[in-house]
Every structure is written in C-alpha cells, then in structure tokens.
A and B are shown apart, each in its own frame.
Chain A
Amino acid sequence: MKTQLITIILVLFSNILFAQIKLDPELIDLAIKMKKEFPKQEYVSLGTSSIYNFSYGDSTVECEELLEEKIMSLNENVTFYEYLIFNDQVDIGFVYMKNYKGRKRKLVVKKEKYKSNGIFYDDASVATFNMFLTTRGDNATYFVETKIKDVKYFTKAYFHKSYPIAEVSLVLNIPDWLELELVEENFDGYDIIKSESYNSKDKINTITYKLKKAEAMLGGNYTISAVQELPHLLILSKSYKKKGKTNTLFNSTQDLYDWYASLIKEMDNKPLVFKDKVESLTADAKTDKEKVENIFYWVQDNTRYIAYEDGIMGFKPANADDVYNKRFGDCKGMANLTCSMLKEAGFDARLTWIGTKSIPYTYATPSLAVDNHMITTLFLDGEKYFLDATEKGVALGQYAYRIQGQDVLIEDGESYILDSVPEFGDEYNIKKTIYKLSLIDDKLFGSAIEEFHGEEKTNLYRSLGNVSKSELFERVSKYVSNYDKSNGIADLHISNYSNRSKPIIFEYKIVVENKITAVDVEKYFSLELDRKFSSMNVEENRNLGYDFQQKVHNYYEVTLSLPANYIVDYMPDSVFIDNSEFLFDVKYIYNKEENKIKYTRKIIVKNGVVSSSNFDTWNGAINKLKEIYNDQIILIDNQ
C-alpha cells in the first residue's frame, strides 16, 4: 500500500519535479546549436559505445555486448524509444539508465512478440523501453547488456542509427583463444578510425573503431538495405581453442555447409503423407517438366507463406509432412515440401540456401549473414531449375528479382555445389500499355491493351489474388481507368490470369471525358492518362538509396487519330535522360500524312536501384517528366 501511495504521489508531481531540473547552461546551448543543425530531430546521441566481450560457453563461445548511449533532447517533453530484438539465441540482460545528474534509475522494459507482416511461428520478440526527457538539453544515458549464446550468431555491427550520433565506438575485446575475422564493409568515404591494443596479462586484443558525427540514417519508401550502403563490420567467427584443442566455427564455406547439413539431417520427413497427392498431381502429366510444374504450382497455390526473418533464428526447416498437413510454412518449410514432393515423384531435387538481393555477400564469406532464404534446386535434363514456392505466380524457370543473380549453396551430400540464379534484364519485367484512340466530339475513344510481364505480373497476380470473384472485373476496371471516373471502361477482357508462363493481359475499350478543353477552333489536352512516376521524387534529406525491389521497365504508348479537319498547332517537348541507373525517354511525334500523334514514354530503372549519389539527377528527371505531364497538345480546326 505504501509503495502504491508513493507511486501515485510521484506520478502526480512528476511534471513539477522534472520541470525544476537545473541543467548545465552549456548543454542547453549545445542542444540549441544541434537543433539548428538537425531541425527535424527530437533528440540526438552524444555518444554510443558497444563493447563486445567473449567467453567460453557450454559447447561454444558466448558473446556479450555492453551498450551505453547518452541521449540528449532537442525539444521539450521528448520521449526516446529504443527497441531491442531478441530470440532463443539472444537474451537481454540488464537494462537501466542514469539521468542527467548521473543518478541510476530503473527502466521499465516491455517484452512482446515481434510483429511483422504475416509472421506466425517466429521466435523473434522485441523488448522496448523509453526515457522521458523534459527540457531541451536534458539528457540520460541508458545501459543494455545483450548476451548472444553462440558467437556464430554475432555477424554484424553497425555505426549508424535513425538519429545523429556525435561519436560511435565499437570495441571488440578478442581473447587470444578466439579467431575472429573483421571485414570492413562500405568503409570508403567514412572517416572511421581503427586502433588496436594488446593486454598481455589477460591475453586480449582490443580492436576499437570510432566514427565521429554519424549521420541519421534516413530512408523512406523502398529503402535499400542498410548493409548495401552503410559502413559496418562483418564478423566472421572462424575458430576457438579450448583445453588445447582447436574447435572450428565457420572457417570456410564447407564449415558453414556442414552446420546447415547437420540441421537438415535432423529433419524427419514422412513422404507417405503426401504420396497420394504427388501421384494425383503427376498422373496425367505428359512430360517430366509438366510433372514438376504441377507439383511446384500446387505448393505455391496451396501453402501459405509465413515470412522468414532476416536474422538469426530457425535455420532448421520444418518437416515436409508437417507443412503439407498444415498448408503453411516459412521459406524453409516450403522449400522442404517442394523438394520432398519432387523427390517422391522421382526427381533429383535438393535443398538450397540463398541470400536475397538485400544481402551483398557471397558464399566466399563463411557467415550466417550470407543468406536468409531457402529454395529448392531441381536437376532436370542437364539443367538446374531454382524453385521458390514462396513466390506466388512464378512459372518454372522464372525467378523473382530478389533471388536473381544471387549465389546459391546447393546440398550435395557431404559436399555442396555453388552456383548462382540466372539474372534477367529490365525487359523481363516489362509493363506495356498501348492505347489506340480517336478524337471525336471532345472525347477520346478507342481501345487499349496492357501487358504485365515478370515481376509486374507476379505483383499483379498477388494483389488480385485477394479479390473476390465478383469483384475481380470491377477492381481491374478501376485500375485500368486509373481510378478516374472520367475514363470510362467497357468490354474488359482479362487473359492469362491463371497462366503462369504467359503475361497477364487486359484489353478494353475506353472513353476519356472531361479531359479536352475546346475553345473556338482549338482543342487542348494531354495524352498522358496515368502520370506514372510523377510523385516519385526522392524525399529531402534522404541518404539511403531507393530500391524498387525489381528492375523497372515501363512502356506507355498512345496513338491518336485526329479528325481530318484538325492539325497540330503545338506538342510538348521530349525528354531523354540516360545514365547507368535509369532511362527516361518521352516523346510526341506527329505523322502529318496519317494525321496521327504518337506519344511514347519509356522509363527504365536498370538495376532496380537509384543510389543516393544519383538522387539529384533522379529528381531532375522526375521534375522534367512532370513538366511534360503538365504540358498540353493544341489542335486547330483548319476549316
């Protein structure tokens, strides 16, 4: 009861207590100065340090991170939130703070399951805590201990966060008995200072990295993964010595494979469970390829995907029969089911590890950070096919952008096979829209055809997959009308919606109203109906690249037949911008003999990424594009 009373009093008067804090005037001045420098930030870090210590665990090496960070408020009444992800391999130890006077305070840590889209049976949890800072310049330091049970799960260390940090230091106290390799990734262009010292008494080599003024990591829509652009340490745990014996961790790719293979051996697949299903799927198939397609597509269509984690949890796939019975699983489970069903049908199928595009490392780097995904490799008629059942709507031999060109580690008994998934050019993902229109009575009449290939097709397939049968035509009509009531759609025909190997095609009739302004003998209008990319300016201050998650190839064409009595008085300019990352080619052409205007627009993002260094050129191209979109054709009645 007494405790409760005190709590209540504290809560009631907490504002008053806080309001009376007496800060060092220099800190207030510093906060004001930093607010000017970072007007959008509510707080900054005056320094963050992570110290990594290593010790022997029961059967391997444990790693402990001691994180200490001093946060200063740049506004009044600011709450600083911190999130720590943990799981069965990572524990959160102590968490506390010291206020601006250095007095130790408890922090309330709330732990709950980590929420991410569609994740079901995932070990990840999140611990959150917050610190309340009352005035500008108010500051507090938090201390967190994290314990990693097995050093092989300690794979990366970063310098940057979502707010500016005055100084970051990463300190690794590596004992003589532990062999770690530190790979400095993306250090170019950053003034990161490395120093080393050796404590001969404890036989510990201390490696320190320091970075001053670490900018806030600012992303936005479609942010590129941090490992692709930001400096970080890739930590390779090679081996350790204990009682005179050297124990290998991941010294080579073979070591990594051996560990993965040991997990696979623990699986207990029961193919009998899906034997009948495999038989029914393959019974009427005329060729081996057709059999494979039937199995692969069945898994795609009937097994719900459960998001995998880009992290260190669960490297062991669920049993194939379990995934089959439940009809859901993560990438490993789905790969295992695909693989096992193919084997049941008599094919040579192997489990395969892969890192998606967001991971820039190759299997030359023996680390758990190299991959985050699992697929199946099928050996058929001397060719390899990579089957990713999590990619709904993908045909056999077609590959999602996220795995294209990526290294694969294919199981092969005691050994392994290294290969890579074929990579396709931007034209693989072409989205083509072609209108043939005529101008009659201040309206545009005509027909259109839209084609979706590659990634465009699978994206569409996935989004339409959730539409009810009765809504499908209505949804597609609205989509092709650009959600504009003035674009009337009729006679819509949808082709290949369920045929994976062909592009999805929409054909329809269109009447465009309210878009032509007619004055006396003149008519004003634009042939740009969908204004694609016009709102794709990169946000101000963003310093992380723009990742479209696919190579983009967007082609749009309108051919307009003019009434015989009309001639073109004016047409908007053309745009042509071509560099290593993107192409904008937009033009109007008037064919006098046929009295037709042809408007074409081609936009290509060659590798699917616009680097931060190219943002100015990109924004310039978008602005130019908007100018064209806003410009109008003028026709004149010459009779």
Chain B
Amino acid sequence: MEINFKLILLSLLIIMSSYGELLAQRVGSKDAKREMGFSSDEDFNITSFPDKWKEESAVILCQKHDFSYIKHGLNKIKFNVIIRRRVFINDQKAKDEYSIFYFIERNGENDHVGYIVEKPDGEKINVDLSDAVEVGANEVSAEYRSYYSYNDSYKKIAIPNLEVGDIIDYYVIGSKSYDGSSELIFSQFSFSLASKYPIIKQKFFFNVDKGFKVNFRAFNGAPEIVEGEPGINKQGRQKDKIKTYIVEDDNRDKKKYEYWKSYTLEEPWIKFQVYYAMGSQATKSIQLISKEKDLVNSPIDLETIRKKIVLDKRMVTMAATDINELSKRLRKVGNVENKAEYIYYYLKYWYFKQLRSYTNFDYENGDYANINYMRFANLFAALLNKFDIPYKYVIAVDRDNGGFDNVIFTNDLTTGIKVKSKYFFYFDNNSLSTDIPSYILGTDAMEFYTDRKHKDEKAKMVKIPVRDYNYNALHSSLKVSFNESMDTTYIINSDSIVGSMKDGYSKLVLYKTSYLDQDKEYLFPEKVRKEKEEAARKSKNGTRKSKRSIRETQEKERTEAQEKQELKEWRSDYIIDFFENDFKIAKVDSVVVASSGRLPNSPYLLVNSYFRAEDFISKAGRNYIFNIGSLIGHQLELETEDMKREADINVTNVLSYNFNIELQIPDGYYVENVDALDYNIVSDLAEFTAKATIDGNIIRVNTSKKYKTLYASKDDWNKYIDFLEAAYEFSQKKIIIKKNK
C-alpha cells in the first residue's frame, strides 16, 4: 500500500511512456519547463539540517509534489505533475545512490527532468543531459521503469562531480491528456510521510479545475489538507473556480522498521485520489466520491459506501449449458449452505476454465491467479439469485485501514457474500470456500440484503470472525535416524498444513498440478468416472499399433518421466526452503503430495518427504552431538534494537507450528541432555512449548509455537520477546548421543 517517491516517479514514467505528448499548458518552451522545475521557491534554499540527523546517509531538505488537473476546452483534461526534491548527501552510500538516474527521452527532448549539484560554497552545477547515454531496458531497475517499457529506450545519467557534503536538487515533470467526456479516475496515492531519510520540509499541492473531486485523508498525526488561494488556469491566470489544496509537513524523522508493525496504522500517513466526474456521472462511479463536495476529507457515511459498492453489479456471462449443468447437480445437494458451497466451487472451476480459454493463463502448470473480490461477490450473488438462495452482501474494511471511518478508496474494502452464517470471499487456485482473507479477520464489516424486499433495512454492523490458531496450522511429524557412520541424518517428514498456513507451501508443492482435473472430479464425480471407463475401454480394444505409434508412445512416456523428475526437483525446494538456513540438504529422495488440501472433503495439504541431511550431527570423540533443535526450522532472531517497541503488534494471522519429532537412538548408544529440551512459555498472546520424553530407544519431542491473537499492545511486547527467544533458544539445543559404557 505504501507508495514512496520512487513509485510516484514510476507513475510518471508510465504517463510519459504511454503517451508521446508531453508537458502541460502551463509549460511552454523548454526554458519555461526548466524554470518551472527549478522554480524560485524559498523552501528550496534550505542548505543545512539539525544535528540530530548528522549520522544519516542523506537528509531530504525539501520535497514538493505539485499535481494539476485542468480542463482544456470542453472535453480535454490535462494532468501535470512536478516533483522536486533537494537532498543533502551526507556519506558515500548516499553519494552512490544519487549518482545515477534513469529517465525516458521523448521526442528527442530531455526537458522533463533536471538535476543540479550544489556545492558547499553555493556554486550550482547544472547537469548536462546531453551526456546521458542510452541503455537497454534490462539495466533499468523497476523503480524507473514503466509497465510498457520493454522496448523503450532509457537514458542513464551519471551525476558528475557529486561529492559528500553536496546537495542534489532535481525535478521530474510529467503530463498526460485525457478525454474528459466521461468519468476519469486518477491513480490512488497512499503513503507514509516518513521516508528512509529524514525530511525537513515537504509539501503536496493540488490545483484542480471545476468538476474534479479530491478525496484526501490524513492519519496518525499527518497534517490535514487546507484550501489555498484560487488556482491557475491553462492561460496561467488565477481563477476562483480553480481550487488549490495544500498539505505541508515539517521535521519528519525517518521511518522506523519493526516486526509486525502496521505502517498504515502507525506512521503519519496520507491517502488521496482525484476524480473527474461531471454532474450525474459522479453518482454512477463506484469510487467513493461525493456529488456535492469537491473535497472529501472526513469519514464517508456507511450508506454511501454501501450504495457505491453494490452498484457494480455485473451480469454472469455463463453459457446456458453451464447453468444447466450446475442446476442439475444442485438438485442433488442438500441444504442452502451446501448449495452455496457447491456454487462457490463451480464458479471457481468455471472461472479458471474461462481464464485458460481466453488468456494465456496456464492454470495446470502452476500459474497463480485470483478473482477480483468485487467481481467474485457480484458473480456469486448473481448465481445465488439465479437459484433463489438468500444471501447477504458483506463489505469489510481491510485491517490495515483501521475501520470504516478511515475508508477513502474502494480498495480499502473487501466484499463478500454471506449465506446464513457462512461467509464466502474471493478465491485463488487453491482456496477453500471456508477461507477468509487474513487481512479482514476481526475487522468491521456491514452486512445487508440487496433484494427489493429488504431495501429499507439498514446494514447490520458485524465483526468478521477470527478463527482459532489451530485453523492455520502446520503439523510436522519427523522420524529421524542415522546412517551407520553417523554422519548423515535420515528424515521422514509428514507435513499436514491447514488454513492460511497453506498459502506459501501450496504454490511450491502444487506446481504443475492439474487443478482443473481435480475440480472437475470433485464437482462431477459420475461424469469423470464414466469418461475414465470409456478411455480405458478404448485403450483395451485399440487396434494394433504401428511402429511409429509405438515410438511416439515411448517418446511420450519418456517426456512424462522427465517432467516427473523436474516436478520432483521443484518440490525438493519445499524441503530445502525450510531448512536451508540451518543445514545442507544432501539429497531429497522423495516429496509426495498426498493431498492437495484444495477440496472441501480434504482441506489438509499433506506432504510426505524423505531426505538426507548433512551437518545435523557432529562428532565428539566416541560420542555424537545432534542439533535436534534445528528440526523446527529457522527461528526469528531478535536483535538488541528489537527489544524496544514503539508500535503496536499486528500479526498477519493467528498461527500454530507444531512438530512431533521421533528420533531413533542408534543401537549401542544412549542419549543425554534431553531435559534441556523442555520449554513452557505461555501467555494469552503467544506461546512456545516443548516436551521431550524417552521411550525405549525413541526420543519423542513435541513442540508448539502459537501466535494466538491478531493484535497486541506494544506494552505486551515482552510476552513476544519471551516466546520468540524461547523458540530461538530451543532451535540451538543439542543432545548428546553417547556410546554405551
């Protein structure tokens, strides 16, 4: 969500690269552009900064963003943006960072960018852009590239004579024309006022013509927007109908990074978006704009949100045959919730089938996608309507946005459907109907019927339920033994993963899984059974094969064997990924996905693997040391600076990691230091427990690490420190395997 300066720059590059026409009515000749870029603005005379920032690599002395949205005649809209930044170079690192810039040359002109190096004695050196060289797009990092840039040529300029103690002052100007005969929605901006370097002064300036609407909100101590003097029209004249809005911010420390920090809820944050919508168009938009007001800078009422969001009803373009197929199957499904669930899976199957047919999306070979949340809610609602299943529409606020009072963009919200007590939200390749996006768990939501019968009913305010941490769990069962020479560890691992914990793992282990076949079999078991029988019958009765046909079959088999091998190698990454920080995996012998965990009758992703590892065991004379703690994987290492906490704790999801380790003690040996493996750090927020027992020649160690709540106050950080440190300490534990006396 965070947009920094460079991302804004990126937006500019997009603007400039997609349209040849550059620079606005306010900018005429090359000199005028330059003058505007480096306008005589007193704020940009700052040359020093407070002592408290003397150890920083760079200090932003001043930065300004000037956005202008002006009408040109009846149906032409011009958008201009000027960004200027003045940075003090305080060490070698900053010098290196600001020594290179990339930009796009248009029409043989470089006049939309400018760079000045200012020396400590006040001498100003204009960087000669004719020295810029053309570079291949592959050299240009993402922050400077546009989405359409593959064939674009870029220019790269080295800032000459830049030294520590200098100031670099630079600007970028972008412009784009639009057809103003219909609604226009400009980019969303959502960013922290703090940057990776401290900022002495920054200003955001909006110059908007009649018909434009600005949605703006400031959070967490960020300054409010204020209306300024009337703005300037295309002829450069001040006009009352053109409004200006200004946000000014001073003396901003650099951004501080902490684990599980919600930056939108903690950092001084601003969001804004500009729309152009004349008259009745404003009411048609799904954006949260006001018909009456040009500036919205206070909470938007719930009714507006409700009306705007549900406005976007789209027709289901499902073919009649598909509807009939679904209808036939639904007759066999029991209650309303089950019917809704069936429709959910049918919709998912249908959607990805469509995606495969009409795009180059390779669903069966690991491409990953998800349906847009609004499209899902509207498609699903339309299907429920079709089959007379009553439902409520749900609008939830993403947790990082705080609550409805902070909503400004439709993207701040997630929509879904509720049938009886069951929630349904948008899906991806591997979603189950029970999945709820982690970022809306426990957040404010409104529920309401959309049919005419309930049109006068007010929306009901609810909280999206948070499930128990056991719902998002990894259960790993490890059987551990050693080779005869005791230098290799054999591990048979069975992982059972459920809930949101599956997200990362699924993408890795389900690569090249034929999802469509699975979905089809789940939805139409009879049909698939018959198809399989028919294929088997045909194959049995097949005519005698020609030599060529035999050769082709053999070649096909070889290809399949090769693909299988590639798949195995891909899945091996799953194991290596988990342990790579700790140990060298000598060989992954097998990784088998026993259950994909993507169907309602088998929600657990089950993965069985067998691998050998080096370095887990080390020798000590006649005895051996086994790093048993490492079997729970790499644990977070808190550093000294992490011990203090400034922000509240916002965990992504409630989670639990559970390991059941069974270690076979080799014949002729016994084990010591097992008692040291017991831990019991339990609080209401998180816990780490471990218990080890010896049972004959088996050591059993059960560990459990739980994140129990989504939110905790910074005052409770000690509870997190305790359990994280315990888990880390456990991961360092070793047992001694001793030769019998």
Using a CB–CB cutoff of 8 Å, the interface residues on chain A facing chain B are: 25, 28, 32, 75-76, 112-115, 120-121, 126, 135-136, 302, 304, 325-328, 465-471, 485-486, 514-515, 517-520, 522, 524, 526, 535, 569-570, 572, 626-627, 629-634
Contacts and interface: CB of A to CB of B under 8 A. Distances in A.
5 contacts: A136-B555, A304-B99, A326-B131, A485-B639, A517-B673
Interface string B659-684: 00000000000001100100000000
B96 interface: yes
Nearest to A25: B551
B52 to A, nearest CB: 12
B620 interface: yes
B619 A469 contact: no
Contacts of B459: none
A125 to B, nearest CB: 8
Closest 6 pairs (CB-CB, A-B)? A570-B621, A112-B136, A632-B620, A468-B57, A630-B618, A326-B160
Contacts of A469: 55-57, 90-91
B555 A517 contact: no
B92 A634 contact: no
Nearest to B160: A326
Contact of B672 (A113, A514, A515, A520): A520
B240 interface: no
Contacts of A518: 673
B672 A485 contact: no
B137 interface: yes
Given A113-B136, A115-B139, A524 B160 contact: no
Contact of A514 (B93, B134, B620, B732): B732
B64 interface: no
A540 B617 CA distance: 24
Nearest to B732: A514
Nearest to B636: A485
B93 A486 contact: no
B492 interface: no
Contacts of B615: 626, 630
Contact of A634 (B135, B137, B620): B620
B619 A327 contact: no
A121 B673 CA distance: 63
B372 to A, nearest CB: 27
B620 A485 contact: no
Interface of B: 55-57, 90-94, 96, 99, 131, 133-139, 156, 158, 160-163, 487, 551, 555, 558-559, 562, 584, 615, 617-623, 625, 637-639, 672-673, 676, 728-729, 732, 734-736
B637 A517 contact: no
Contacts of A115: 135-136, 138-139
Given A136-B555, A467-B93, A632-B619, A120 B156 contact: yes
B99 to A, nearest CB: 7
Main secondary structure of the interface of B (DSSP, over half): mixed
Contacts of A471: 57, 93
Contacts of B729: 514
A536 B714 CA distance: 44
Nearest to A114: B136
In this complex, the member of A28, A113, A631, A634 whose beta carbon has the largest number of chain B beta carbons within 10 angstroms is: A113
A485 B736 contact: no
Contact of A631 (B92, B619, B735, B736): B619
Contacts of A631: 618-620
A518 B673 CA distance: 7
Contacts of B732: 486, 514-515
A327 B96 contact: no
A465 B92 contact: yes
A631 B161 CA distance: 55
Contacts of A522: 736
A135 B238 CA distance: 69
Contact of A326 (B92, B156, B158, B562): B158
B633 to A, nearest CB: 15
B96 A76 contact: no
Contacts of B622: 570
A524 B562 contact: no
B92 A327 contact: no
Given A326-B158, A327-B161, A517-B625, A121 B133 contact: yes
A328 B158 contact: yes
A465 B164 CA distance: 12
Contact of A569 (B162, B562, B621, B638): B621
B202 to A, nearest CB: 21
A104 B256 CA distance: 61
A470 B158 contact: no
Given A113-B139, A570-B622, A632-B620, 9 more contacts: A76-B562, A325-B160, A327-B163, A517-B673, A519-B672, A520-B672, A524-B623, A630-B619, A634-B620
